[in-house]
Chain A
Amino acid sequence: MSPAFRSNLLQIGLPVILALGLFMPDWAIFLGIISLAKGLVVLGLMLLWRTGLVSFGQGLFYGAGAYMVGILPQYLPITDALLLVLISAVAAGFLAFALGFLLRRYREIFFAMLCLAFSMIFFGILVKSESLGSTDGFNVVETSYLGFVPEEPIVMQRMLYITAAVVAWFACLFVNRYLGSTMGRLSRAIKDNELRVEYLGFSAKRAVHFKIVIAGTMAGAGGALAAIAIGHVDPEMVWWIQSGEFVFVTILSGVGNVIAPLLGSVVFEILRTFAIEYAPQAWQFVVGGCLLAVIMFLPGGLWSLIERSKEGKDDGNSSR
């Protein structure tokens, strides 16, 4: 894929998703918000994936962002959606920064398991917290948009959609920039041979730490957006099945481009919704079958379809 095409896609990206928001039917708006929110988490996972790291505990940061949205307005008079999302993202980023000191020392299965362990500790704490509703969770207060509280619920939804679109677009731009930078390009190098990276004069640990923080921050933003959209937070957002879903969507999307996680996330949500409608007792089977099909026939994820159609080459993995 040519860099020109990629940057074109990014430039037109925001107007396209915003325009979609105006024309989408009511039911699709919510699906759109959730897809964008989860897409943010997957974007972070993509970053780690390119470095050869898989986190089975990304639900930790997703849930941390969500719980921030739930708890913060109870103590501070903040109801602005964008502000809440930013604060939650920063908080999740700090959490990732703190845990990063330990996480950055591990690779492969040990990294994955340590992430899982941290997320399950957080899950355990939440389940034990009766004041936070234990496993039932609690409702999130109504949010405002730049001082404006829409009367009509559907206007509210569309405002949130716009917020999510703007946040996701900035995240994509940032990650795209980062991947083009020296530190970003180190991802592949760390994956291939960490020792050589060290000989080049870079600290692989520091690079990994930075990626953990970016991924955590974006997951926090995603969790915050999801919490506002759903209007409810509970520990299931932190549970390993949620973390597994993010990894699932990463595989489904492919890691070829920063747009891929968002697209993959949309496809996943639509797929699941219709699977539930048509096979209420076997929808997991349908979703699992699709993952299997993607792994077997599209090892580069759904993105490789777009890549191939653009350039007509039969290579599943993008170089960058």
Chain B
Amino acid sequence: MSIKNLLRGTSVAACLVAGAMTAISGAAQAQEKLKVGVVGFYTGAAAGPFGIPARNAAELMVEAINAGNVPAPYNTKGAGGMEIEAVYIDESGGTTKQVTEYRNMVQRQGVDAVIGYISSGSCLAVAPVAEELKTFTILFDCGTPRIFEDADYQYVFRTSAHATMDSVGAARYIATKFGDTKTYQGINQNYAWGQDSWRDFDLAMQSVLPGSEAAEPLWPKIFQGQYGAEISRLSVSPPEVLHTSFWGGDLESFILQSSARSLHKRTKMLLTTGESVTQRLGRKLPDGVIIGARGPYGILAKETELSKWLSQTFADRFGTKPTFPSYHMAQAFIAMKIAYDNAAAASGGSKPSVDDVAAGLRHKTFEAFGTTIDMKLGKGQQAITPTAYGIAKWDSDTGEQTITDVVTYPAECVNPPAGVNSVDWIKGGMQGAKC
């Protein structure tokens, strides 16, 4: 056999060997272990701002829960007495891949529960599969309210509030703090998240500030990165409030490019996911922009034993403070621990059934890191939480980002009541909101 033939053979074989290996090793697993699939964007544009902070939080939580190091009342070891073993799966590559990998996790790798999904598209696609395979699944970060409004689930939960809250909270903050606002405009990425965010914000503004008027929204495409034309247009006739649901690299680029041209001095910038870039931008984030965190997280978090613990241990280990995706992930782990602890108490020690585990979380209210989580919507499967907005201010003495004028809105003020469709709720003037 010539060298070339040998090379041909080995190159192809190398590609396939990995495959054969797991087919054999995949099945074995110990009974006392709780194998959890943890899915998020570990590659691509959403990895830096969301995926990696979430994965870091997951690693931290797995170790802390296994060692019993989380502060009370979560200081017992393991989930339902079982040691957690995490399997990390990348969310990049589209929904076909997500569904394939979800099935692989459950059917081949023998995963007991899944925590994951940052993209709403992934959540929508995976939820029916989770239900079909009867696997306890916590969606930790994705935003769309459609998941529990378009369908009913037994085994799928979401422990963060859905995106309606972000836009309603933002509009309420403008009404509370800048009640004389007459004009507002949006610049949002041209895909589902941006479209939904603007729609909800616009509707909520019409409800809380009926006298205000929206200018024609701008729709740059996602991952555009260059906003020269948009910034020029906004500079010509700046609105009083500029709403954006940009995230990650797009948000960072937009902030850097617009602050270089002093746009933030001519318009009140409202960044609904702004908190996720505070650690990366540092003092490059201009003072005076309004930032949200998709809930009361990060610098907007309430000071509690639990939130202080998370912030401190995370900073010690990873050298940066946790941002809201880390909080979303950490609270999903707490929810899973609660579900398994409750189920174990009900089943008396043996590995609990998935129905027991789901019942252990359904309709429950619990304290997470700086917020209370109430599994109130979607027949007890979808959480509502309070939310907070504030104004960024760089503290040059300590070299840290601080926040002023924080307003926290109770969960029932910014989330629709149970059984009501989110868009209808905002359109109908947010009936039943308790502020």
Where the two chains meet, the residues of A that have a C-beta atom closer than 8 Å to any C-beta of B are 25-27, 30-31, 34, 127-128, 130, 133-139, 153, 226, 229-232, 234, 236-237, 239, 241-242, 267, 269-278, 280-284, 286, 290, 293-294, 296-298, 302, 305
Q: Is B72 an interface residue (CB 8 A)?
A: no
B192 CB contacts on chain A under 8 angstroms: 130, 133-136
**A27 cross-chain contacts in B, Cβ below 8 A:** 103-104, 106-108
Of B122-130, B243-251, B355-363, the one contacting chain A is: B122-130
B 1-19 binary contact with A (CB < 8 Å = 1; else 0): 0001001100110111011
Given that A283-B90, A297-B11 are known contacts, is A267 also in contact with B16, CB under 8 Å in the complex?
Answer: yes
Q: Which of A31, A133, A138, A290 contacts B100 (CB 8 A)?
A: A31
Instruction: Let me know if B280 is at the binding interface, CB within 8 A.
Output: no
Chain A to chain B: the 7 pairs with minimum beta-carbon distance, closest first? A27-B107, A232-B125, A293-B11, A134-B192, A27-B108, A135-B191, A297-B8
Q: Is B96 an interface residue (CB 8 A)?
A: yes
CB of B35 to closest CB in A, whole Å: 13
A134-B192, A270-B19 given; A297·B129 CB < 8 A? no
Least CB distance from A63 to B in Å reads 11
Give the contacting residue for A137; candidates B12, B124, B199; CB below 8 A. Answer: B124
CA distance A225 to B92 in the complex (A): 22
Please tell me if the beta carbons of B132 and A153 are within 8 angstroms of each other in the complex. yes
Q: Which residues of A contact B397 (CB under 8 A)?
A: none
Contact between chains at A294 and B89 (CB < 8 Å): no
B15 adjacent to A293 (CB under 8 Å): yes
Contact of B101 among A26, A127, A239, A276 (CB under 8 A): A276
Closest chain A CB from B326 CB (angstroms) = 18
Contact with B124, one of A232, A283, A298 (Cβ below 8 angstroms): A232
Q: Is the CB of A271 within 8 A of B100?
A: no
- Would you list 17 pairs from A and B whose C-beta atoms are within 8 A, ordered by A residue? A130-B199, A134-B195, A139-B125, A231-B128, A234-B95, A237-B96, A272-B97, A274-B18, A277-B22, A277-B109, A278-B22, A284-B92, A290-B11, A297-B4, A298-B11, A298-B12, A305-B8
B14: A residues at CB distance < 8 A = 293
**Residues in B whose Cβ lies below 8 Å from that of A274:** 18-19, 22
Q: If A133-B124, A136-B144, A273-B104 touch, does A127 touch B191 (CB 8 Å cutoff)?
A: yes
Shortest B134–chain A CB gap in Å is: 9
A292 to chain B, nearest CB (A): 9
Complex Cα distance, B106 from A133, in Å, reads 27
Encoded as 1 (CB less than 8 Å from any A CB) or 0, chain B from 122 to 162 comes to: 00110011001100000000001010001100000000000
CA distance A5 to B109 in the complex (A): 38
Nearest-neighbour CB distance to chain B for A121, whole angstroms, equals 14
For A27, A269, A276, A280, which residue has the most chain B Cβ atoms within 10 angstroms?
Answer: A280
CA gap between A138 and B7 in the complex, in Å: 46
List A contacts of B8 (CB < 8 A).
297-298, 305
Q: Which of B76-121 contact A (CB under 8 A)?
A: 87-90, 92-97, 99-101, 103-104, 106-109, 120-121
Shortest Cβ distance from B44 into A: residue: A284
Contact status B89-A305, CB under 8 Å = no
Residues in B whose Cβ lies below 8 Å from that of A138? 124
Interface centre among A226, A234, A236, A294 (most CB of B within 10 A): A234
Q: Does B42 contact A (CB under 8 A)?
A: yes
Q: Besides the contacts A272-B93, A280-B89, A297-B7, what 12 more A-B pairs have beta carbons closer than 8 Å? A: A27-B103, A27-B107, A128-B190, A136-B124, A230-B125, A269-B100, A274-B22, A276-B89, A277-B87, A277-B109, A284-B92, A297-B11
Residues of B within 8 A of A134 (CB): 191-192, 195-196
A30 touches B103 (CB 8 A): yes
Q: Are the CB atoms of B124 and A230 closer together than 8 Å?
A: no
Judged by a CB distance under 8 angstroms, whether B353 is at the interface is: no
B265 CB → nearest A CB, Å: 33
Judge whether B95 and A230 touch: CB under 8 Å: yes
| List of A residues within 8 angstroms of B132 by Cβ | 153
CA distance A276 to B102 in the complex (A): 12
Cα A253 to Cα B426 in complex, Å, equals 52
* Closest A residue, CB atoms, query B129: A231
Whether B43 sits at the interface, judged by CB under 8 Å, is: yes
* Nearest-Cβ distance from residue A39 to partner chain B, whole angstroms: 14
A275 pairs with B88, CB closer than 8 A: no
Set of chain A residues within 8 Å of B101, measured between Cβ atoms: 273, 276
Chain B residues numbered 328-383 whose CB sits less than 8 Å from any CB in chain A: none
Q: A294–B19 Cα gap in the complex (Å)?
A: 17
- Please tell me which one of the listed residues B18, B92, B95 contacts residue A278 in the complex, with CB atoms under 8 A apart: B18
